[in-house]
Amino acid sequence: MTALARTHPLRRIPHAGSLGMILLLLVAGRLVNPSFLSPMNLWAVLSVSALLAVASAGQTLVILSGNQGIDLSVGAIMTLTALMVSGMAGSSDEAVPLTLAVVLALGALIGLANGIGVRFLALYPLVVTLGVSFVIEGLALVYAQSQPPQMPGPLIESIGIGRFFGIPWLVVIGAVMTVLMTLLLRFTRYGRQLYLVGSNIRAAQMAGVPVTRVVLTTYAASGLLAAVAGVLLYGYVASANLSIGAPYTMMTIAATVIGGTALSGGSGSFIGTVLGAVIFSLISNLLIMLGLGPALRYAISGLVLIAVLFATSRDAA
């Protein structure tokens, strides 16, 4: 019992590892290029991080839900959403509210389908969400062929690249999302039930947790949040294509896991994921600053990921 009580002082600071990593990356960036710490670059990194954090919100919920929970359809949903917003809203703002309602509902429905596959068909989440992602990609292709993508209207564009009192809208949205997600996980009944289900689904059932409702809500929320991220991505890139969301599937998993959420479920936080997204974005940014081409950048960020996971997953165990 005394061994439990003794803890390294650094461990008492939440997310000490991630914060240290961010500091390290900032220092390294400064050494590589003095403009790394310029406000412009920092806002750019934060915007990309916020976009990734929003995209990872659903992934965090799904991974927290445990029982091999993972959502491989995030990227496909983001692609479909971007294409649909582009096709439906066009370059004006008039149709934006209706369009948003449609794409967000569609995202939630796709997520619900994932949840049904996981809970009622008792399939592995990996298999269900991968299968669904192929279906969505097919739909996206059909949609893109009938509705050629357009440039976003002023509203969507300003969400993507505009600023609010000097702060990029993406960062504002990311901050709001961080607060909402944290409240959701810490203080709502659903959030607390999610941790129980992720930690031990049988024990949750024994305690009377409505397990099915929690699992379905989680996957539906993941689909909805992926759709939100798809809208933001479309605004940020200011165009839509068939592969726009694809990298996000793996990036969201990376951000979530770097952020300390256990892949086995039941332990983790959204703040962790946000810091994970910042780390991931800083690494990419640093590699761009070093003038590396995309090929090398991918390879190196992969290796760095493994190194980070090696360091963080050991102290999680």
Partner 1 sequence: MTLVLQGISRDFGPVRALDDVSLAIGPGECRALYGGNGSGKSTMAKIASGILSAGAGRVLVDDRPLARTSPAEARALGVGITFQELSLIGELTTGENLVLADVPRRFGFLLDRRGADAAAHAALKRVGLAGLRGRRVELLQTGEKYLVELAKALQSHPRYLIIDELTSAMHASEVEIFAGLLAEHLAAGGGALFVSHRLPELRRFCNTISVLRNGKLVFEGALADVADDDLVKWAGGGHRDEMPASRAPLAGEIRVQATGLRPLPGARPINLAFRSGEITGIGGLPDQGQKHIQRLLAGLQPAVAGERVTLSGAALALGDSAAIAAQGISFVSGDRDEMVFARRTIRENMQAPFVAMKGRPMPDDAAILAALDRLNTRHAGIDRPIGGLSGGNQQKILVARCLLLNPQVIVAEDCTKGIDVASRNDVHHLLRELAHVQGAAVIVTSSDDQELAGLCDRVLVLDGGQVIAELSKVEQTLDAQAIVSAYMKQERAA
Contact of 140 with 80, CB cutoff 8 Å: yes
Residues contacting partner 1: total by CB under 8 A: 24
Is residue 73 classed as helix, strand or coil in its secondary structure? coil
72 interacts with partner 1 by CB under 8 A: no
The tokens for 288 are 């761009």
**Please, which residues have CB within 8 angstroms of residue 113's CB and are 6 or more apart in sequence?**
132
183 interacts with partner 1 by CB under 8 A: no
Among 158, 161, 210, 250, binds partner 1 (CB under 8 A): 210
Q: How far is the CB of 207 from partner 1 (least distance, A)?
A: 4
x/- letters, 235..274, toward partner 1 (CB under 8 A): ---------------------------x---xx-------
* Rounded distance between C-alpha atoms, residue 100 and residue 227, angstroms: 9
70 or 113, CB closer to partner 1?
Answer: 70
Is residue 265 classed as helix, strand or coil in its secondary structure? coil
Among 41, 68, 147, 200, binds partner 1 (CB under 8 A): 200
Cα distances (angstroms) measured from residue 70 to each of 46, 170, 256: 25, 25, 11
121 or 317, CB closer to partner 1?
Answer: 317
**Please, which residues have CB within 8 angstroms of residue 220's CB and are 6 or more apart in sequence?**
108, 109, 111, 112, 115
Among 33, 68, 158, 199, binds partner 1 (CB under 8 A): 199
The tokens for 217 are 């809500």
Segment interacting with partner 1, rule: CB under 8 A, options 104-112, 148-156, 189-197, 221-229: 189-197
Positions touching partner 1 (CB under 8 A) are 1-2, 4-5, 189, 192-193, 195-196, 199-200, 202-211, 262, 266-267
